[in-house]
Amino acid sequence: MRKILTIFPLAENVHLTKDVGMVPFIMHKFYNYDATLACYSSGPFPNLEIDTPGLKLLRIPKITGVATLDTVFFLLRHARRFDILIGFHYSFFTGITTTFFKLLNRFKRQKVVYIKLDAKEDIFKMKERKILRKLMGFADILSIENTSIYNPLVREFENLLYVPNGFYPKNPKYLLPKKNIFLTVGRIGSPEKSNDVLMNAFAKVAKLLPSWNLSLVGPIHEEFQSFISSFFSKHPDLKERINFTGPIFDRKELMLKYNESKIFVLTSKWEGFALVFLEAGIAGCTIVSSDILPANDVTNNGRFGRIFPVDDVDALKEALLNLAKNEEFLKNNSTAISSFYQENFYWPNILSTVNNKIETFLYK
């Protein structure tokens, strides 16, 4: 059985259900690899047996407190035991540690490095960052999680794959009817989330959509409390129509929240391939997103939702109003978007491409 090592020093329990844990776990469960995640933390990891059974953990000793150096020392001891190394992000840490893995195994042909870049717009400056580009060149496989970056770069890198984030396992189909709810989930009030834009847009459509409410799920950023107070002093009539639930840690309860909502809204200034898109789409929510990198992917180029310019309250208002008044579209779209997500963002399907690419290196 081939052995995979995933390096992510700062991994904690929460990362097991994100790509850091899901990629090695799915490779283990569906493609018969022995998979290990290496990190600083020794736990606890309660999600390990629940969500990623069979995934092994290996602790990186914190010798210097500098992640790159500690990982290099860790690889000196362990690198030769593994056939495939998986790294994350477009960074010098990933470039140095994956290159070091290749150098330690330079006389062994069947060793593979895969980097899931999760890149943002700054990757287009790769040509200017010659050292980092050189380090990334040691990788056998690179992947990008959105087509906005993948399409311009695929001709330049023959080893580049499109690998979006995914979900697992397939969720049960709930039978609860959807309600007239605009939903957002995340760190409410964090500056990059622009939740003020959502609340202001809702205030503009509230009288035109008297049966609709707004629900914000997640911890509230302390500095956002002053905005909330000011907002409700201007719109006291909306106190009963805007619900701050706080964080919902129980995943079944959270999925029920998605399931009962008709429209999911993300107003971020910037964002990677956020897992909230997947949760909302699987639950049949129509997606409204600011014009961030994954917006076209998660709405199928606007077919299953709407995209509006970042921080444009009026454009968001129009998107919410038009969708909320089109009940037939929302009903039909709920089934269509859920099917689209089940087909295109299921982790075992997504990673089949990665597995096929790895096998071309292992068995050539």
For 138-163, what is the mean pLDDT? 89
d(CA 302, CA 105): 46
Q: How confident is the model at residue 129 (pLDDT cuts 50, 70, 90)?
A: low
Q: Is the pLDDT of residue 128 over 60?
A: no
- Quote the pLDDT of residue 138: 83
- Quote the pLDDT of residue 177: 86
Other C-beta atoms closer than 10 Å to the C-beta of 293 total 19
Beta strands 141-144; 34-39: pairing state: unpaired
For 226-247, what is the mean pLDDT? 97
Q: How confident is the model at residue 21 (pLDDT cuts 50, 70, 90)?
A: very high
Q: Is the pLDDT of residue 70 over 90?
A: yes
| Helix, strand, coil percentages for the chain (3-state, nearest 5) | 45, 20, 35
Of 338, 260, 254, 271, the C-alpha closest to 17 is 254
Q: What is the DSSP letter of 188?
A: B
Mean pLDDT for all residues in the chain: 92
Better-scored residue on pLDDT, 320 or 137: 320
For 239-262, what is the mean pLDDT? 94
- Quote the pLDDT of residue 190: 96
Q: Is the pLDDT of residue 31 over 90?
A: yes
- Quote the pLDDT of residue 242: 98
Other C-beta atoms closer than 10 Å to the C-beta of 158 total 7
Q: How confident is the model at residue 243 (pLDDT cuts 50, 70, 90)?
A: very high
Better-scored residue on pLDDT, 15 or 135: 15
- Quote the pLDDT of residue 88: 95
- Quote the pLDDT of residue 172: 57
Instruction: Return the minimum-mean-pLDDT range out of 154-163, 238-247, 327-336.
Output: 154-163
User: pLDDT per residue over 195-229, tens digit each?
Assistant: 999 999 999 999 999 999 999 999 999 999 999 99
Strand ordering across the sheet containing 286-290: 242-246, 213-217, 179-185, 261-266, 286-290, 305-308
- Quote the pLDDT of residue 126: 60
Instruction: Return the minimum-mean-pLDDT range out of 162-176, 197-211, 343-357.
Output: 162-176
The structural domains of the chain, ordered by start, are 3-167+346-362 (3.40.50.2000), 179-344 (3.40.50.2000)
- Quote the pLDDT of residue 252: 87
- Quote the pLDDT of residue 109: 67
Q: Is the pLDDT of residue 54 over 60?
A: yes
Most confidently modeled of 100-109, 231-240, 268-277?
A: 231-240
Q: Is the pLDDT of residue 175 over 60?
A: no
Backbone angles phi, psi at 34, to 5 degrees: -85, 115
Cβ atoms of 159 and 131 within 8 Å: the answer is no
- Quote the pLDDT of residue 127: 54
The percentage of residues in the chain with a pLDDT greater than 70, rounded to a whole number, is 94
The percentage of residues in the chain with a pLDDT greater than 90, rounded to a whole number, is 82
Instruction: Return the minimum-mean-pLDDT range out of 10-19, 110-119, 352-361.
Output: 110-119
d(CA 255, CA 171): 9
